[in-house]
Amino acid sequence: MSSDCVAAELAEGSGAGGVAAGRNVAGADEERADELEHMIKVFKTTLCPQANGPVSHDHRCCPYYHSDRDRRREVLSDDGARYFAEPCEEQFDSQRVCSKGDTCQYCHSTAEVLYHPDVFKKRLCYQAKRCPRGRYCAFAHSRQELLVPHFSESEEAEPSEEFIAYKFKTQWCPLGGPHDWESCVYAHTYRDWRRTPLIGYTSRPCPQWNKSISNGMVELSYDQRCPRGVACMLAHGSKEQLYHPQFYKTSPCSESCCRRGPFCAFTHGPHDLRRPCAAHPPQAGGAGDGDTSMQVRALLAVHQPQYWNPPKYHQLEDSARSYSGGGSCVGIGFSGHGPYRGVGGERQQYQERHQAQQAPSGGGRRIRHRLRARAVVLALPSGPLARALRPLSPDAADELEGIVYPCVAAVTVVYPRRAFRVPQHGKGPVNGFGQLHPRSQGLRTLGTIYSSSLFPGREPDPEKVMLLHYIGGARDPELFGGIEDMTADELVEATHRDTAVTLLAPAA
């Protein structure tokens, strides 16, 4: 990618065909283009001089790499990109080694994905001013930094009906963070994307496209769904049909309490009734004609210059894939988008797919369940969860990896019942649930559960008492030196000293 190429993307990012107002690429933008090109070329491609030094620093704000996990291979060559902006199935943010080594045509780390020319600065950072990466962030911190076409903030927040009819879902989404795809004015996948109505297609549905959707095959490319591709003169999907200028706001809504406003394709009274607009027929030839196809692509290049290049991060979200380095697929959807709305009454239809595969070991069947949902709860330890989220949200992965699990040991000890002090309440020794020890008491044991009292029969001998102690915790290394290197006998002795203070009789 040369400076001219970066400048060209800056020009596209300023918007053609009604997206945000254009900017002059000369002067300051040329300097910015050089800076962006430099970032893509050299960021994280050289080992940090302080990588093995005594002084630690924030790796996220360092332009050098510190391990294989944040190392980048040089991506640009005279012939273009050396590898694709897609995770390698053999090695991705893992300790495994790719059989192709540095000649592999896929990304080996999140850094290689995020700073690839196909991804870099093509999405807004959801942390914005709070981003710890600052100027080294791979995402744009302002709309001026975006290298893709985008709408104005007012068009995103309060879209007019005219905007919905002609521009809704015609540009790829640059918004960062989870959000409702249905109420977002941008497109996220080709099933969500609209061709601009200016190319002349009608609002009648394409049977080939509908057939591909009903088959449930999300992996099909755009041209595989319809043999005429983008030059087809019929509507591809519900978005192109419902929001077509000939259809949008021309029929009454069937919902009595609809609150979708301009996003509802139907009318709610005379105030938002639109008259069908005339279609924009192609200049020459019939549907699928070679000249027509060229004319359509030329129009798309003007009004939707990135139509052929959907965002890589949305592809990952739509397929709900997260690579663990061994080619395995985690069947969790991180799309964060709302339910799919069809033409028939716009009833909500949640889409799920169940796929059964023979387990590799031959022991039964493995079920992979893919689900699109508004939110996902991930019940995983922070380490595995960080590895699963890193391709989608490296900042969240960094925060998760920063979570420390203090070392705590559970120590079970049995004492003779006669060894305990007789309490004044007269209900016998160690009667109740247990006890907790604040650090202010000077005890090392965090707490003790009276197992014999809480769980009758846990200790079958009535003349003995079983206690379950917990020792360790976040402050133990600071106060007592930590328990990681202690033997079992040493742990028992440590808890016994505290038990002698709190529960045992002096002569025990």
d(C-alpha 447, C-alpha 423), whole Å: 19
pLDDT tens digits, 350-363: 333 333 333 344 44
Q: Which residue has the higher pLDDT, 408 or 426?
A: 408
pLDDT tens digits, 249-258: 988 988 878 8
Strand partners, 411: 469
pLDDT at 277: 64
Question: Residue 29 is encoded by which pair of tokens?
Answer: 């933008």
pLDDT tens digits, 77-97: 888 899 998 889 888 887 788
State yes or no: pLDDT of 421 exceeds 90. Answer: no
Q: Which residue has the higher pLDDT, 163 or 8?
A: 163
Question: Residue 84 is encoded by which pair of tokens?
Answer: 């694709």
pLDDT at 426: 66
pLDDT at 377: 87
Query: What's the distance, CA 177 to chain centroid?
Result: 8
d(C-alpha 122, C-alpha 309), whole Å: 11
Q: Which residue has the higher pLDDT, 462 or 410?
A: 410
Highest mean pLDDT (candidates 304-308, 315-319, 338-342)? 304-308
Find out whether 444 and 472 touch, Cβ atoms under 8 Å.
no
pLDDT at 288: 44
pLDDT at 356: 35
**C-alpha distance from residue 266 to each of 244, 258, 501 (Å):** 12, 10, 76
pLDDT at 313: 62
State yes or no: pLDDT of 486 exceeds 60. Answer: yes
Lowest mean pLDDT among 162-176, 366-380, 433-447, 472-486: 366-380
State yes or no: pLDDT of 263 exceeds 70. Answer: yes
**Residue 380 three-state SS:** coil
State yes or no: pLDDT of 439 exceeds 90. Answer: no
pLDDT at 219: 63
d(C-alpha 236, C-alpha 195), whole Å: 9
State yes or no: pLDDT of 129 exceeds 70. Answer: yes
pLDDT at 319: 40
Question: Residue 17 is encoded by which pair of tokens?
Answer: 């065909």
pLDDT at 82: 93
Lowest mean pLDDT among 273-277, 317-321, 403-407: 317-321
pLDDT tens digits, 267-307: 988 888 887 665 555 443 344 455 778 889 899 999 998 88
**Residue 475 three-state SS:** coil
Element (H, E) at 358: strand 352-358
Closest to 92 (Cα-Cα) out of 323, 304, 376, 307: 323
d(C-alpha 107, C-alpha 391), whole Å: 11
State yes or no: pLDDT of 328 exceeds 50. Answer: no
- Please state the rounded mean pLDDT for residues 449-478: 90
d(C-alpha 313, C-alpha 309), whole Å: 11
d(C-alpha 409, C-alpha 461), whole Å: 25
Q: Which residue has the higher pLDDT, 320 or 419?
A: 419
Find out whether 368 and 331 touch, Cβ atoms under 8 Å.
yes
Closest to 39 (Cα-Cα) out of 123, 132, 114, 149: 114
Q: Which amino acid is at 162?
A: E
Find out whether 22 and 11 touch, Cβ atoms under 8 Å.
yes
State yes or no: pLDDT of 240 exceeds 90. Answer: yes
| % of residues, the chain, pLDDT over 70 | 77
| % of residues, the chain, pLDDT over 90 | 29
State yes or no: pLDDT of 214 exceeds 50. Answer: yes
How confident is the prediction for the chain on average, in pLDDT? Answer: 77
Question: What are the counts of helices (DSSP H) followed by strands (DSSP E) for the chain?
Answer: 15, 10
State yes or no: pLDDT of 9 exceeds 80. Answer: no
pLDDT at 442: 87
pLDDT tens digits, 25-57: 334 467 777 888 889 999 999 999 887 777 778
pTM of the model: 0.57
d(C-alpha 401, C-alpha 408), whole Å: 19
State yes or no: pLDDT of 233 exceeds 80. Answer: yes
Find out whether 458 and 392 touch, Cβ atoms under 8 Å.
no
pLDDT tens digits, 464-478: 999 999 999 988 888
Q: CB 394: neighbour CB atoms within 10 A?
A: 23
